[in-house]
Amino acid sequence: MPKYEGIPETLTLKAARQFVEPRVSEKRFAHIEGVAKFAKKIAEASGVDPFLAELSGWLHDACKQVKDKELISMADQFGMQLHPVDRQQARLIHGPVAAYLCREELGLTNQDVLDAIAEHTLGNVPMSELSKVTFLADCLEESRPDSYRQPVLDALDLGGSVNLNKAMLVALDLGLQMLIADKNVIHPRTVECRNYFLNLARSKN
Ligand SMILES: [Fe+2]
Ligand SMILES: [Fe+2]
């Protein structure tokens, strides 16, 4: 394995898997494994480092099953800045909290991987290619409903042009539609992120 900045030699893909497995249910673990595999696949098709993509996939949901109260107390302990919506919908911060946890517990300081873990739920402006790959792999893992998965997969066009930005826009639009249908609170960062990818798409026309 080549050397990567900010990734201790002990942090292999196997070590990441072993870190996550005891923290989540069997069902969640299957999702995580699916995301790690899919992230590698998208990375290989889009010129992103497949090891970093798979590593981000393995670690992205490390805190998915931490209870809301605990997520808030971990965030406060880590000194994270929280938006009021983060406190109201604490599950939205399972990514950023996982990034801090990986830094503390695994010695992971590679900023690209930390950002990819942190941004996988709400997105960000801008996003690195690695972060987009992780976000999309999370959307495309096989247990996701087909009505969500297929349009994102079509926009991504893995066997053809491979368009991460177009797939991001489709994924964000569908995600927002689902939040509205479920009468859920929308985090302003997701709206900013969606507008960012919309403007990118418009500037290409
Ligand atoms: Fe997640
Ligand atoms: Fe996930």
What's the predicted TM-score (pTM) here? 0.97
Instruction: Kindly give the distance from the C-alpha atom of residue 162 to the centroid of ligand 1, in angstroms, as a whole number.
Output: 23
How far apart (Å, rounded) are the C-alpha atoms in residues 166 and 188?
20
Instruction: Kindly give the distance from the C-alpha atom of residue 81 to the centroid of ligand 2, in angstroms, as a whole number.
Output: 22
- On whether residue 190 sits in a domain, the answer given is yes
| pLDDT for res 36 | 98
Q: Where are the alpha helices (DSSP H) in the chain?
A: 13-20, 26-46, 50-59, 68-78, 84-88, 94-106, 111-118, 129-140, 146-156, 164-181, 188-203
- On whether residue 6 sits in a domain, the answer given is no
- On whether residue 7 sits in a domain, the answer given is no
CATH number reported for the structural domain that contains residue 185 in this entry: 1.10.3210.10
**Residue 199 sits in which domain range?**
13-203
Q: What is the DSSP letter of 126?
A: S
- On whether residue 5 sits in a domain, the answer given is no
- On whether residue 47 sits in a domain, the answer given is yes
Look-up of token digits 């800045």: 81
- On whether residue 8 sits in a domain, the answer given is no
- On whether residue 186 sits in a domain, the answer given is yes
Q: Do residues 19 and 56 touch, judged by C-beta distance below 8 A? A: no
Q: How many domains does the chain have?
A: 1
How far apart (Å, rounded) are the C-alpha atoms in residues 171 and 140?
9
As given in the structure block, the two tokens for residue 48 are 């992103």
Instruction: Kindly give the distance from the C-alpha atom of residue 150 to the centroid of ligand 1, in angstroms, as a whole number.
Output: 19
Exposure letters 88-116 (e unless 16+ CB within 10 A, then b): eebebbbbbbbbbbbbeebebebebbbbb
- On whether residue 27 sits in a domain, the answer given is yes
- Residues around ion ligand 1, judged by CB within 5 A, are 61
As given in the structure block, the two tokens for residue 129 are 């290619």
Q: Do residues 113 and 95 touch, judged by C-beta distance below 8 A? A: no
Instruction: Kindly give the distance from the C-alpha atom of residue 196 to the centroid of ligand 2, in angstroms, as a whole number.
Output: 22
Which 3 state secondary structure label does DSSP give 203?
helix
How far apart (Å, rounded) are the C-alpha atoms in residues 128 and 56?
13
Question: pLDDT of the chain along its 205 residues, tens only?
Answer: 558 999 999 999 999 999 999 999 999 999 999 999 999 999 999 999 999 999 999 999 999 999 999 999 999 999 999 999 999 999 999 999 999 999 999 999 999 999 999 999 999 999 999 999 999 999 999 999 999 999 999 999 999 999 999 999 999 999 999 999 999 999 999 999 999 999 999 997 6
As given in the structure block, the two tokens for residue 189 are 């960062």
